[in-house]
């Protein structure tokens, strides 16, 4: 009885759906988090009567065949790169990206990771680093004598020094964009890695065509819509229950067969 296995794939698919939704809800307060969405595909079909096959010796063909589906599978889990809300923090080194792009971060392994989480600070050496202490590329050092630091929309880091009339430019933040942002691989800690699917990073200063601008004293919040996620969760739960009902019904049908005498 195919319905047992078909409904089983349906329950597994909805379980994966609930896991994706639960991760979205768990990260509703995560800075720079982008919500995920599960996509499904139907499995192969068994042909009982193939469409277009001959139905007689005179050459007549079947206008419609008979196919039975074998269930569903998880095809992909997409990342929705929709702009999150910007929240003011009053922190000098907090940065948000308004528009396209990712901050570049150097990992301890030497690899480059990408993030929308602009919760930055200064290391003991005065370098701009992430909350984990990783260097924000291209490696900007703020002089210890700086009385005030301004980061403009073009990513220029301007430090006000004693005795100087004009602020000193101590570096410029660069943003990276990708041909396929959905192809980036999440590695945790709000970090993403480039893959063959994402393509190579294209780097430029904020404010250039196709690149977002930086906003000092702001962070980008998660783009999770809690109301929508709860609605999706209820829908997934009902779909799971209906697939379990199919298994119960199939089991009752098999029980009827075993009772025949």
Task: Look over the chain and give the mean of its residue pLDDT values, rounded to a whole number.
Answer: 89
Lowest-pLDDT choice from 60-64, 206-210, 213-217:
60-64
**3-class DSSP assignment, residue 12:** helix
d(CA 231, CA 89): 31
Candidates 114, 113, 117; CA nearest to 87 is 117
- Banded pLDDT at 66 (limits 50, 70, 90): confident
Q: Which of 234, 12, 217 is nearest to 98 (CA)?
A: 217
pLDDT (average), residues 211-218: 92
Could you give the angle at which helices 226-258 and 2-26 cross, rounded to 10 degrees? 160
Length of the chain: 261
Strands 202-204 and 66-69 turn out to be unpaired
Which of the four pLDDT bands, split at 50, 70 and 90, describes residue 62? confident
- pTM of whole model > 0.75? yes
Instruction: Band the pLDDT of 240: cuts 50, 70, 90.
Output: very high
Cα separation, 72 vs 41, whole angstroms:
6
Model pLDDT, residue 69: 83
Alpha-helical (H) ranges within the chain are 2-26, 226-258
Q: What is the pLDDT of residue 260?
A: 79
CA–CA separation, 212 vs 55, rounded Å? 62
- Is 166's pLDDT higher than 90? no
**What was the pLDDT predicted at 241?**
94
Distances (CA, A) of 6 to 9, 44, 196, 244, 246: 5, 11, 34, 11, 9
What b/e readout covers 1-28, taking b as 16+ CB neighbours within 10 angstroms? eebeebbbbbbbbbebbbebbeebeebe
% of the chain with per-residue pLDDT over 70:
99
pLDDT at 215: 93
- CA angle 21/99/227 to nearest 5° reads 25
Q: Which residues pair with 152 in a beta bridge?
A: none
* Mean pLDDT, rounded, for 28-41: 93
Contact of 150 with 133, CB cutoff 8 Å: no
Report pLDDT digits (tens) over 86-105.
999 989 899 999 999 999 99
Residue 219: what pLDDT?
94
């Amino acid at each position: 009885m195919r319905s047992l296995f078909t409904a089983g794939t349906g329950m597994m698919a909805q379980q994966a759906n609930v896991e994706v939704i639960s991760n979205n809800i768990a990260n509703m307060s995560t800075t720079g988090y982008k919500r995920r969405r599960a996509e499904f595909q139907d499995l192969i079909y068994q042909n009982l009567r193939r469409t277009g096959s001959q139905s007689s010796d005179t050459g007549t063909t079947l206008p419609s065949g008979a196919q039975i589906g074998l269930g569903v599978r998880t095809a992909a889990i997409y990342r929705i790169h929709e702009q999150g809300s910007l929240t003011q923090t009053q922190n000098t080194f907090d940065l948000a990206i308004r528009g396209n792009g990712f901050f570049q971060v150097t990992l301890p392994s030497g690899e480059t990771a990408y993030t929308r989480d602009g919760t930055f600070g200064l290391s003991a050496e005065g370098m701009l680093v992430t909350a984990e202490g990783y260097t924000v590329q291209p490696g900007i050092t703020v002089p210890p004598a700086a009385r005030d630091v301004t980061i403009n929309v073009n990513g220029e880091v301007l430090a006000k020094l004693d005795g100087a009339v004009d602020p000193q430019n101590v570096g410029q933040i660069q943003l990276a964009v990708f041909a396929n942002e959905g192809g980036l691989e999440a590695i945790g800690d709000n970090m993403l890695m480039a893959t063959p699917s994402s393509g190579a990073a294209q780097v430029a200063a904020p404010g250039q065509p196709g690149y977002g601008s930086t906003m000092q004293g702001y962070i980008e919040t998660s783009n999770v819509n809690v109301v929508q996620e709860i609605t999706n969760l209820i829908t997934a739960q009902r779909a799971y229950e209906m697939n379990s009902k199919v298994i119960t019904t199939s089991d009752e049908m098999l029980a009827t067969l075993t009772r025949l005498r």
